[in-house]
Amino acid sequence: MKFASKLVHFDSNPGDPLRPMVTPIYQTATFEQEHADSFGKFDYSRSGNPTRRVLEDQMAVLENGTRGFAFSSGMTAVANVTRLLKAGDEILADWDLYGGTARLFGGVLPRTGIKVRYVDASNAANIEEHISPATRMIYVESPTNPMLRIINLKATAVVAKRRGLLLCVDNSTMSPYLQNPLDLGADIALHSATKFLCGHSDVTGGVIVVKDEKLAEDIYYLQNAEGTALGPFDCYLLLRGLKTLKVRMDAQQHNATLIANFLSTHPGVRKVFYPGNSSHIGHPIHQAQARGSGAVLSFTAAGAAAAKSIAEKSELFRISVSFGSVSSTISIPVKMSHASVPAEMLAFRSIPESLLRLSIGIEDVDDLISDLSRCLDQA
Ligand code: PLP
C-alpha cells in the first residue's frame, strides 16, 4: 500500500468481534485476568493498553520500523532515549535543537552523569572528529528547529554505524509522510506527536519507532518502568489526527511554498529559511533524503522590534510556541521555544533576535499572504 492508504487502512480493532471502524478508547487502568497464575494480553495500562497498541503499531508501519512506542509528550520520548545511556556516557548532539531538548540535555542529564557535547552536525566528518571514547549516541533533528538547517542523515548514520553509536533523529518537523530516518540508517526515529502527527493542537504526545528488537525491548522496559506512556484518550485523538496526515501536510506544504516565495521578494524580509528554496543551505541533501519541504519556515525581519510588531499585528498567524497544526502560528524562537538555552550551546547559537518562525496551516493562502504583507508593511 502507498502511504495515503496506510493512513486509513490498518487493523483499528485487533481481536474485537464487533469490528468497530474506529479504535475504541480503552479507558481502563486494569484488565481482569482469567487465571491467577497467568496474564492475558493486557493486564495494566501502564504496561500496555489496546488503544495505545493500535497507535504504536500504526506508527511502526508509517516509519518503516518494527515497533512503536507512544509517550505522554515529545519530551518523555526524548528522556526515554537518553535513559538508554548510563553515567559516564556521552551524547554528541547538533547545536540547533528544540529548546526543551536542550534544557533536558543541559539541566537534567548532568545530574545522571550523562554528558552532552554540541557539534555542528551539518557536516558528518565534523561529527566523526568530535567522537570520544565515551560517546554512545548521536542526536540530531533535520530540518533543525528553528534555523531549518539540514543534517545529512545517511552520512551521519554511516559514521554512527562505523563507530558503534546509536543515531537518534527527531523527525517532528517532517513527519513520516515526508521523511523516514530508519530508512536512512538511523536507529531511532522520534517525534513530538504534538506537532504534525496530531495536527490539531489538542494532544501532547511523543512517539519513538525502532527496527532493532533488542533496542525495542530496552525502550519498552523503560517506558513501563518509568510509566511514561500516553493515555488512551490521547492515543485515540492521535489515531484520528493521523488519518489526515497526508492531506493536511499536502495543503500546508503547498501554502508554505507560496509563502516562502512571497517572503523572498518582500523588502521587509532579510532572509528566508525554508528547505524548499533552492538557495537554502543543504537543499540538495534535503531533496535526496526527504519527499517534501514541510510547513515550517523562518525568516528574519528588519530587526527585533519589527519581528515583535509582525507577530503581534498578525490576525491569522496566532502567537504560539508549537508547530504542525492546521491553524497557522507565528513565534519568536529566541523569546519563546528557544528561550532556555544552556551556556554550552550559546557558543554555537546564532538564532537572530529578528527571527520569526512560521508554521503554516490549511487556511486560504491568499488570506495568509495578505495578512503577512500588511504586517510587514506596517513593521
Ligand atoms: N522535538 C521538537 C523538534 C519539538 O519542537 C518539540 C516541542 O516543541 C519537542 C521535541 C518536544 O515535544 P513536546 O512538546 O511534545 O514534549
* pLDDT tens track for 71-92: 999 999 999 999 999 999 999 9
**Distance (Å) from CA 308 to ligand 1 centroid:** 23
Ligand 1 in reach of 82 Cβ (< 6 A):
no
For ligand 1, atom 11, the nearest C-alpha belongs to 74
Is it true that 3-242 and 245-378 share their CATH fold?
Answer: no
The pLDDT value given to residue 26: 98
Ligand 1 in reach of 370 Cβ (< 6 A):
no
**Distance (Å) from CA 32 to ligand 1 centroid:** 36
Ligand 1 in reach of 99 Cβ (< 6 A):
no
Residues 6+ apart with CB under 8 A from 194: 73, 74, 201, 203, 204, 205, 206, 322, 324
Between 333 and 61, name the one with better pLDDT. 61
Ligand 1 in reach of 192 Cβ (< 6 A):
yes
pTM: 0.97
Contacts 24+ apart (CB under 8 A), 35-41: 41/15
- Catalytic residues, which ones? 46, 98, 170, 195
**Distance (Å) from CA 267 to ligand 1 centroid:** 32
Ligand 1 in reach of 73 Cβ (< 6 A):
yes
Provide mean pLDDT across the span 224-233.
Answer: 98
For ligand 1, atom 5, the nearest C-alpha belongs to 98
Arch. (CATH architecture) of 3-242:
3-Layer(aba) Sandwich (3.40)
Q: What is the pLDDT of residues 27-54, one digit of tens each?
A: 999 999 999 999 899 999 999 999 999 9
Ligand 1 in reach of 172 Cβ (< 6 A):
yes
Judged against a pLDDT cut of 90, whether residue 339 lies above it is answered with no
The pLDDT value given to residue 2: 97
Comparing CA positions, the residue from 277, 330, 280 lying closest to residue 307 is 330
pLDDT band, very low/low/confident/very high, at 336 (cuts 50, 70, 90)? confident
pLDDT band, very low/low/confident/very high, at 367 (cuts 50, 70, 90)? very high
Minimum-distance ligand 1 atom for the alpha carbon of 322: 8
**Distance (Å) from CA 10 to ligand 1 centroid:** 27
Contacts 24+ apart (CB under 8 A), 266-269: 266/373, 266/376, 268/301, 268/302, 268/306, 268/376, 268/377, 268/379, 269/299, 269/300, 269/301, 269/376
Give the range among 63-67, 83-87, 348-352 with minimum mean pLDDT: 348-352
Ligand 1 in reach of 145 Cβ (< 6 A):
yes
The pLDDT value given to residue 338: 72
**Percentage of the residues of the chain whose pLDDT score is greater than 90:** 92
pLDDT band, very low/low/confident/very high, at 346 (cuts 50, 70, 90)? low
Judged against a pLDDT cut of 90, whether residue 349 lies above it is answered with no
**Distance (Å) from CA 80 to ligand 1 centroid:** 14
Strands of 318-319's sheet, edge to edge?
Answer: 271-273, 296-300, 355-359, 329-331, 318-319
Judged against a pLDDT cut of 70, whether residue 206 lies above it is answered with yes
**Distance (Å) from CA 377 to ligand 1 centroid:** 32
The pLDDT value given to residue 170: 98
The pLDDT value given to residue 157: 98
Comparing CA positions, the residue from 149, 98, 158 lying closest to residue 286 is 149
The pLDDT value given to residue 343: 65
Ligand 1 in reach of 294 Cβ (< 6 A):
no
Q: What are phi and psi of 118, to 5 degrees?
A: -100, 140
The pLDDT value given to residue 350: 73
In CATH, the number for domain 245-378 is 3.90.1150.10
Ligand 1 in reach of 75 Cβ (< 6 A):
yes
For ligand 1, atom 12, the nearest C-alpha belongs to 74
Judged against a pLDDT cut of 80, whether residue 15 lies above it is answered with yes
Q: Report the SS3 class of residue 271.
A: strand
The pLDDT value given to residue 335: 87
Ligand 1 in reach of 156 Cβ (< 6 A):
no
> Could you tell me the residue ranges of all domains in the chain?
3-242, 245-378
**Distance (Å) from CA 234 to ligand 1 centroid:** 16
Contacts 24+ apart (CB under 8 A), 25-31: 25/51, 25/232, 25/233, 25/235, 25/236, 26/50, 26/51, 26/232, 27/232, 27/233, 28/232
The pLDDT value given to residue 190: 99
For ligand 1, atom 4, the nearest C-alpha belongs to 98
The pLDDT value given to residue 347: 63
Mutate which of 75, 169, 207 for ligand 1 pocket (most atoms within 8 A of beta carbon): 75
The pLDDT value given to residue 84: 98
Ligand 1 in reach of 322 Cβ (< 6 A):
yes
Minimum-distance ligand 1 atom for the alpha carbon of 321: 8
The pLDDT value given to residue 351: 83
**Distance (Å) from CA 142 to ligand 1 centroid:** 13
For ligand 1, atom 8, the nearest C-alpha belongs to 322
Grid coordinates representing 153? 542523515
